[in-house]
Amino acid sequence: MDAYFASVEQRDDPALRDKPMAVVGSGARTVLVSPSYQARAYGVKTGMRKPEALLLCPQILFVKGDTQKYTTVCSQIVELLYSYTPDMEICSIDEFFLDMANTLHLYGDIEDLASKIKSRIKEELGLNCSIGIAHNKLLAKLASEMAKPNGIKIIPKQDLSDILDQVETDALCGIGRKTKETLACMGINTLGQLRRYNVSALERKFGVNGKRLHLMACGIDESDVIPLGQEEEMKSVGHSMTFSKDATDGSLLRKYLLELSDMVGRRLRKARLCGKTIRLTVRYKSFFTFTRQRSMSVPTDDTKKIYEMAVTILGSVRLKESVRLLGVTVSKLTQEPSEGQLFREDKRKYKLNRLLDAVNERYGESLVSFASLSTSRKHKRVISPAWRPHGNRNY
């Protein structure tokens, strides 16, 4: 989808249409999550801070993101695309891979099909998208980036090297800022240069990734389109939050940990998972960020146990600065044990958690919660673009 969150907001509010605007988070220290194309024309980019954006484009409008809306629209897109092939992978809230190998004969020409899908998304959902077509995911993704905004791009096999020769190394998904810099130091700026570079020299520099880089530069990607319901199991569940003000007070930090542990616990229980390893993330005022993790003998999904472990870990750290962000992540996940397998004390906790979850599910996010949290829990959180509408990450 093109400038997804921003486009949904522009579609729904005529006052935003054709204007430089951006979707932002709800916190005091948010960044731009999705700038409109009119804003991008001024050099405004995703991840920018608000003052920076205002400097580039003083008339830019900011809109707080609406999680519910983007997930609903995403489900509508999924439904529409699914009607063309069941071999569809949901890559993120606004990106999808369709493997047309098995169903293309039903539709004929691939480019006609792409235009049809594009116009249906425009007519039925009022949104622009870009479609890339190629014989693997790596190149289809590259093609879709090249097609933006609002276009269709095909990379035919015979034109592959001509196209790759021109583009910069970080155009490919998997080559980011650091790798691009390292490659640039070796005199490699385009994929053509990368492809012709000595493979063993790449391997010496990048280890196993050296071979991968070479294959990528050749446009080779053997990865499959992973259809709905066949996604890998979730490996970790976590939440973090940047405070509106940096914090040093221990009791305040513990309150934040309780809130984060509760959010993580709820998601684990909803997914019927327990985790063994608890990881605490701390970001200082200076932005220096580090993690400390500890494993328990028995996996848990209990808010209090997660919280207590997080507090223990925090207690073992000698804080050197005031804290800007805390995060709690649970990993080493396993299926939750059935109620019958629990000891008596754990059985009570299990029932209590389930009951609270059920009440909150029915009557609103945090109707019943910890007394110490009664003053917080007010601000809405903006969705991560990595959210998925189906499969494991539905929680």
Partner DNA sequence: TCTGGGGTCCTAGGACCC
Q: Which residues are catalytic?
A: 95
The answer to the question of residue 291 lying near DNA (CB under 7 A) is: yes
Among 251, 365, 357, CA closest to 301: 357
H or E stretch at 273: strand 273-284
Quote the least distance from Cβ 314 to DNA, whole Å. Answer: 12
Stretch that binds DNA, among 11-19, 75-83, 175-183, 369-377 (CB under 7 A): 175-183
Q: Name the residue nearer to DNA (CB basis): 11 or 45.
A: 45
Q: Which of residues 307-346 bind DNA (CB under 7 A)?
A: 324-325, 327, 329, 331-332
Q: What angle do CA 14, 15, 20 make, to 5 degrees?
A: 110
Burial (CB count <10 Å: 0-12, 13-18, 19+), residue 63: buried
The answer to the question of residue 179 lying near DNA (CB under 7 A) is: yes
Q: Name the residue nearer to DNA (CB basis): 72 or 115.
A: 72
- Total of chain residues touching DNA, rule CB under 7 A: 66
Quote the least distance from Cβ 102 to DNA, whole Å. Answer: 25
The answer to the question of residue 92 lying near DNA (CB under 7 A) is: yes
E strand map for 126-271: 131-133, 152-154, 236-247
Of the candidates 17, 28, 75, 116, which one interacts with DNA according to CB under 7 A? 28
The answer to the question of residue 199 lying near DNA (CB under 7 A) is: no
Backbone angles phi, psi at 278, to 5 degrees: -110, 130
Stretch that binds DNA, among 67-75, 160-168, 202-210, 363-371 (CB under 7 A): 202-210
The answer to the question of residue 209 lying near DNA (CB under 7 A) is: yes
Quote the least distance from Cβ 106 to DNA, whole Å. Answer: 29
Q: What's the rounded Cα separation, in Å, for the pair 365 and 353?
A: 14
Listed in sequence order, the residues at least 6 apart from 380 whose beta carbon sits closer than 8 Å to its beta carbon are 26, 64, 67
Q: What's the rounded Cα separation, in Å, for the pair 250 and 142?
A: 47
The answer to the question of residue 21 lying near DNA (CB under 7 A) is: no
Quote the least distance from Cβ 236 to DNA, whole Å. Answer: 4
The CA R_g of the chain, rounded to the nearest whole Å, is 24
Of the candidates 68, 75, 102, 286, which one interacts with DNA according to CB under 7 A? 286
Q: Name the residue nearer to DNA (CB basis): 195 or 239.
A: 239
Q: Name the residue nearer to DNA (CB basis): 150 or 293.
A: 293
The answer to the question of residue 27 lying near DNA (CB under 7 A) is: yes
Q: Which of residues 215-274 bind DNA (CB under 7 A)?
A: 232, 234-242, 263, 267
The answer to the question of residue 293 lying near DNA (CB under 7 A) is: yes
Instruction: Supply 307's token pair.
Output: 């919280």
The answer to the question of residue 394 lying near DNA (CB under 7 A) is: no
Rounded (10°) CA dihedral 251, 254, 259, 261: -160
Q: What angle do CA 40, 46, 52 make, to 5 degrees?
A: 75
For residues 133 and 119, the answer to whether their CB atoms sit within 8 Å is no
Quote the least distance from Cβ 11 to DNA, whole Å. Answer: 19
Q: In 3-state terms, the chain is what percent helix, strand and coil (to 5)? A: 45, 20, 35
Q: What's the rounded Cα separation, in Å, for the pair 257 and 145?
A: 39
Of the candidates 61, 81, 91, 215, which one interacts with DNA according to CB under 7 A? 91
**The one-letter amino acid at 217:** A
Q: What's the rounded Cα separation, in Å, for the pair 285 and 322?
A: 6
User: Token match 């071979």: residue?
Assistant: 211
Q: Which of residues 94-113 bind DNA (CB under 7 A)?
A: 94-95
Interacting residue ranges for DNA, rule: CB under 7 A: 25, 27-31, 33, 46-47, 49-51, 91-95, 141, 170, 172-180, 207-209, 232, 234-242, 263, 267, 276-277, 279, 286-287, 290-295, 324-325, 327, 329, 331-332, 381-382, 384-386, 393
